Structures are given as structure tokens and as C-alpha cells.
Structure 1
């Protein structure tokens, strides 16, 4: 029988200006291992994968909202919300150890729409409280093809594509070909088999058209770019070429252990640079990767240069040549050490740019990137690459040369750590999400962020992020 959870403990690093304070845990406790909790992109809902089920919690009440059961014969390992749905519609995809992915739908009041930026819709769905009403989640489609456990599922930003990955070493890409928004018909458009080990996670590049400058995406590849992390210690970047084939354009090497996950930078970079990637690993490190972009002078000159994709245009290039073309990604930062065991999850805030991490050691850590240092980022890229290649001795995530140049060169800092976040249990997932609970001031609801951690104890725990 498991011991009683220990109280969370905060380290001395909290003196740097950030500390985490536990809020009341979501109810009810799940009393079984929970793998991850994923917030809805616009509504105050949180989906948690555990055993053979998914429990949807309300971020307003911090309590159970509805439950998805009966679709899988083994544990549900991952879950994702389908974006860009119409009013009063919810759709989830689940990835299971039974080697299938499932599509679930809820239609009726309390669903929601991505066109409701103020989240004014009532989130208490009829039937989610003590059996009132007759609404429930409908398991509408099973996606089959993987030979082993599905570890991760992810929708592309527009919802057109779904990526799944598995212990069978493959990544599958599915396309929504339904005639209507509610017509669940998906086709397999690619099976990617270049990884040499279990594929642990997949993540789509954020939509470039939503960034601050609508012209920034000109000349770059679209948001339909995919990254995958693997037991083979690598991350691969995939893209659909001009002939409709999905190809690997980069292999990111540097981790010395299983890469448990990957996430794209969610908020626009200063100067319009292409989104970076963050990866985390069993080697207890978190790495940030940056795409090397060429400069392309616009017609007419006048000194107007715009970054472009390293490939340029792909149309008309023979397949045999196209497959040899590659992107160049550099590891431009290794974050300061905060973990002593496998890092299972990292979340990058789209609002603040802060990173949070957690893992097997039960520690939750928060990191910040100094905005002032980002101005000098390009000047230090060569130095960062040198230190990561081993040319410069490393000290806690920064080179001795960098440290000697002063604090302004230390781009990432460890802001706070909290130990025993779930007592003696491993913490499997951490995510940033908006606050809507009664403890949040009305003017900050839907604006202020909190962290949510999910652990082997079956507890889904929110954390207030306090600044001094």
C-alpha cells in the first residue's frame, strides 16, 4: 500500500522572485496513475488521461465535469483537443496502450467554440452532474494501424491533421477527410519509420499566420511541420514537401538518453525568428534548439531582408534530390540543472515565455529567459554552439566563458524548484493553463496562468505562480 503523500517542499531558489503555492487539488482524486492533463485551447476545461478513461475537469470548479469510458481495452496514455470547432461542440482524440486512437465527440450546450475569446459559455454540461440529462461523450471512430502502444497524439493547429506515435517506432499522420465538421472520416497519409526506437512524443509547429506580423511567414514552410521525440535519443523534424510526401528534414542529436518529449516555442520570437524547439530527456537535461535561417533579399532591394526556410521552394525538385535536402538546427541552450532523474514533461508558456519541468524525481522547476539577453542572442549563437560541442567547459548550463562575461550572458535561469510535488510519487506531466477558479480575482480570470501537475498518485494538482 502506498505511503501517505508528503507535503510539497520548496527550495531556496524560490528567493529569485517566483514561487509555487499549491491550490486545492481537482476533485475527485482518480486513485490510479494519471498520465497527462491537457487544457482546452479556449474553454475552461482540462482533460486528464488515466487508466482506460479520460476525466474532463472544469477549471471553474476544479471538479469533475464529464468522463470518457468504454472506448479502450488498455490504459489511455495521451489525449488532445481538436481545435477550431463550431459552437457547442467538443472533440477529443485518445491514444491508448491497446495500439488504437479514438475520436470522441460531445454536442450540445456547454460545448464551446474557439470564437468565444472571453470564455463566456457555461461549462457545466447537462448530464455531467449526478446523471442529470441524457448527454454523454460519444466514441465515434477508432483509428487502427499501429502495432504497439500509442504514446502520444497531437492535432495540427488547424485540426486538419492528426499525428500519432508508438512503441512500434513509427509516426502516423492522418488527415480529416470528412465531408462536414462532425463527419469523422480520417485517412492515413503517411507512415514515418526512420526512428530506431520507441517514439515517445509528437508535436506540431504553431500556426505562423497567427503571429504578430502577418508577413513573417512569407517564404517559410507552413505550420504543418511535425517534430517527434524517441527512445533512440533523437528528435526528428518532418515536413510535407511540394509533392505531398512527408520527409524528415532534420535529426536533432545531443541528448544522452531517451528524449521523453518535444514542444515548439508557442509565442512569437522577437525579430520574427522561426519557433524554437525544447526537448527533455532521461539524461536530466532540457535543451533549446534553433533553426539556422538564411537571409533572402526581397525584390526591389532597399535592404529588406526576410528569414526564409533553409530549403526555399520545393516544387519541381525530383524526389531523389528532395530527400537529400536537410535543415540545420543548432542546440543553442542547455537549461540549468534542476532534476536528478528522468525529465518526463516540460511546458513552455505562450503568455510569459517561462518553462516548467517535472519528472521522476517529483520536482517541479520553473525557468526564465532574460529578455535583455535575447537582444544579443544572435551574437552568442556561435559561442553557444561551441560550448554545446564541448569546446568550452560547462557550469550548470552555461559556459565558463559565458559566465565570466557577466550575468547578462546567462540566457536561461532556474527561478524556483518545488520538491515532493506529489509526495513520494513520480510526476508524469506539467502544463500551463489559465485560471477560472473562485480563488482567482475576477479581473484575472482567463488571463492569469497557473501550473497543473499530474502524477502516479492519481492527483491532478494546480499551482499558483507567485511573484515577489
Structure 2
């Protein structure tokens, strides 16, 4: 296997000067959203500079964020009239934000928007449109299904909520924006739920005892030292179909009823209705066998806070409390994972809270090539981009 090395590519500007939690690239546009304090700063991936800010929506720090995928994702900005970003906060709520570029796209969202004085971005296009309430404690993580139909949120209250975006017709813009409904509340974890993630793509639906289960697969990791896998069945029930154990430490990364909240109103349904009156822990459901196929070498000296798997190269990156970034690669012959690159003190003495693989859009990319970089986010309020060099 050819050697791999990491080299500093750029530091996103400006520095945030406060602990930064997570950086999330848009599925296809050159935008990166970083959460810190009560703010999300959106950076341009073209020139690594600030594009805009989202402020005023939450009363406490924003821990995580996710871009809603478009049902018909396209690399063409002309097909995207509205962007939607969801934020999860320590105030126990999720916030829905929308960005409305002009029809003519006179201010392209791929570049920095600045006023005549060279400071102060045009941020009026971002609108805080809705609050999703229900969790009893801070939100730790959130994730969209590949289609953008479902949003999963998890919390210190040990629960996972699954929300559905009920889109209306193209002419009914208000309903398309605002109609969200809770379709499941999952309570099977015995500890704080630290992270949730939908599989980017899963091949097929499943069948069990005459029941069909959808192709969307949700994974959740908890302080109870388990990872649980969830699927939706033909009746709209989300059930646990697998439990993964094996870890000796925490995986880092509520009631039955339905809730639908619009502007200024909220309703809680009873146990009946969509769930049929049967708690999800009592329902007979599909049980999938998940097999551990490998284990990463132990390199970090402190907790690992973030793991990122590249769908393009198959490389895995980790970052954590020791300030180290590590890249691993699987040996195709033996199936064993090997350390291919590491950077110590990648953010100086500060901890690394998040790592993510991200497509490059900057001028350093050779024409006609699609390249990938690694983005790290740290306690120092700095977001760094790293070039991944193969064969050196």
C-alpha cells in the first residue's frame, strides 16, 4: 500500500476564539457549517473564509448541525432555491434555519459576501424558522436520512427522536417549510445517547415474519457502551434491529406519543394511534446480525471524540482529547487496519472535537480532478483543512 501523509492546507478565517464543536460540509455545495457558542459560522470551501453567520436562535451553545439533503441532489446551484440547516443545542431544542438566495443569485453562496468596509457579512438571508421541542436535556447529535425526509435527534435524556419533514406541493411554500412531525421516540438505551447517524445508502429493504422494513438504517451510540441499529417497518414503527457491543468505554459520537409543533403551538398525542399502543421494546421485530470486521490500532492516549470514514477512499480518521489526528487504512489482503499517518498537536495543546472528510473546491485542485481533504475542529476555536497526499 502506498504511504499517506497529512499536510496543512489552510486555516479557515476568521478564528472563532471560542470552543468549536463540529464542522459539517454541505452535501454538494462548497459550504462548511461550524458550531460554536450560540452561533453557527458558515465558511466558503472556495477560499476558506467566512460566508455568513447564524445567530439569535438558541439560548445556550450549539453542539451539532446538519444540512438537509435535497430530494434531487445536484451540483448545480440553479436547482437549489433554498438551503436548510438544523442545529442541536444545549438548550434541549433543535432549530430549523433556511437560507433564501435571490432568484438571480446575484450574491453567489459559494463566495464570501462582505460590505463596502470589508467586514460584516450579509446575513439577512438566513432565517430561524422553527424550533423542535421535546427533549428534556441537551441535544448531543442529529442526522438526516439520505432523502432528507427524516431527522434523528438524540440527547442526554437517553432518548432518540425521529422527525419527519412533511413537504407540501411546490406552490404551498409555507407548508413545505414548516411542517415537521415527530414519528417516533426511542427509549431503549440505558445511558445518555451521544450520537446518531443514518447510513448514507443501504442497498435494500428487509423482510421478517411477513413484515417489511425500510432501507433507511439509523445507528445510535450511547454511554451504556452499546451501538443500536434501527429501521422503520411497514406500519411506520421504528424498532431496534441490532445491538453492537464490544467497547469497554463510552460511545461518543421518551415517552410514547406524537408531537407536531408549528409556530406557537404544540400537541402531545397518546399511546395509541400511530404506534398501535405497543411499546417498541415489546414488539417482535427483525433482528440483524452485525459482525465486527476489524479494529483500529490503539494510538490515541486519551478519549477519541470523533471518527470519520471516507466514502471516496475508504480511509478512516480519528481525533480526540490528546490533540492528535490519525489516519488509518485497511490492508486489502489481510483485512487488518494500519496507521498510515498521524499529526500530533494538530491544534497545539488543544483538544480536537471533530474530524470530517470534505470535498475540495479551492483553486489548488487540479482541473478535472475530484480531491478530498480532512477538516479538524478544535477547542481553540480554529478550523483547519489538511491535504491528504497519497504515495509520498
TM-score for the superposition, normalised by structure 1: 0.69
User: Is the contact made by 1:109 and 1:126 (CA closer than 8 Å) also made in structure 2?
Assistant: no
The structure 2 residue matched to 1:217, chosen from 195, 204, 211, is 204
Following TM superposition, by how much is the alpha carbon of 1:162 offset from its aligned partner in structure 2, in angstroms? Answer: 0.5
C-alpha offsets along residues 181-219 of structure 1, whole Å, 9 cap, x if unaligned?
6422111111101101110000112234xxxxxxx5365
Distance 1:188 1:416, change over 3 A: same
TM-align CA RMSD:
2.4
**Structure-2 residue corresponding to 1:360:** 321
Q: Map 1:60-75 to 2 at 5 A.
A: 60-75=46-61
| Structure 2 residue 250 is matched with structure 1 residue 258 | yes
Deviation at 1:416, TM superposition (A): 1.1
Shift of 1:108: 1.3
CA distance in 2, matches of 1:416, 1:127: 38
Q: Does 1:428 align with 2:329?
A: no
CA distance in 2, matches of 1:437, 1:254: 41
Distance in 2 between the 1:127 and 1:197 partners? 45
2:89 to 86, 89, 96: 96
Q: How does 1:381-460 map to 2 (within 5 A)?
A: 409-444=334-369, 447-460=370-383
Question: Displacement, 1:458?
Answer: 0.2
**Would you say how many aligned residue pairs link Structure 1 and Structure 2?**
345
Q: What is the deviation of 1:240?
A: 1.0
- Would the aligned equivalents of 1:198 and 1:231 in 2 still touch at CA under 8 Å? yes
Whether contact under 8 Å (2:62, 2:90) holds in the other structure is yes
1:219-260 deviation per Cα after TM superposition (whole angstroms, max 9, x unaligned): 575332211000111101111112211111111111001001
Preserved CA contact (<8 Å) 1:127 1:136: no
Question: Cα 1:336–1:67, aligned 2, differ >3 Å: closer, same or farther?
Answer: same
**What whole-Å deviation, never above 9, does each CA across 1:270-299 have from its counterpart, x for those lacking one?**
xxxxxxxxxxxxxxxxxxxxxxxxxxxxxx
Residues 401-430 of structure 1: per-residue CA shift (max 9 Å, x gap): xxxxxxxx2521111111001000000000
**Given the superposition, is the C-alpha separation of residues 204 and 442 from structure 1 closer, same or farther in structure 2, using an over 3 Å criterion?**
same
1:135 positional shift: 3.5
Query: When you count helix as a share of all residues, which structure comes out higher?
Result: 1
Gaps of 5+ in 2: 72-78, 208-212, 254-279
The TM-score with structure 2 as length reference comes to 0.82
Matched, 1:186 2:188: no
Unaligned stretches of 5+ residues in structure 1: 1-14, 113-120, 209-215, 262-318, 374-408
User: What residue in structure 2 maps to residue 312 of structure 1?
Assistant: none
- Does structure 2 conserve the Cα–Cα contact (< 8 Å) formed by 1:110 and 1:125? no
Q: Does 1:124 align with 2:121?
A: no
- The aligned residue for residue 169 of structure 1 is 158
Indicate conservation of the 8 Å contact 2:154/2:195, yes or no: yes
Counterpart position of 2:199: 205
Q: Which runs of 4+ in 1 moved over 3 A?
A: 109-112, 125-135, 218-223, 319-322
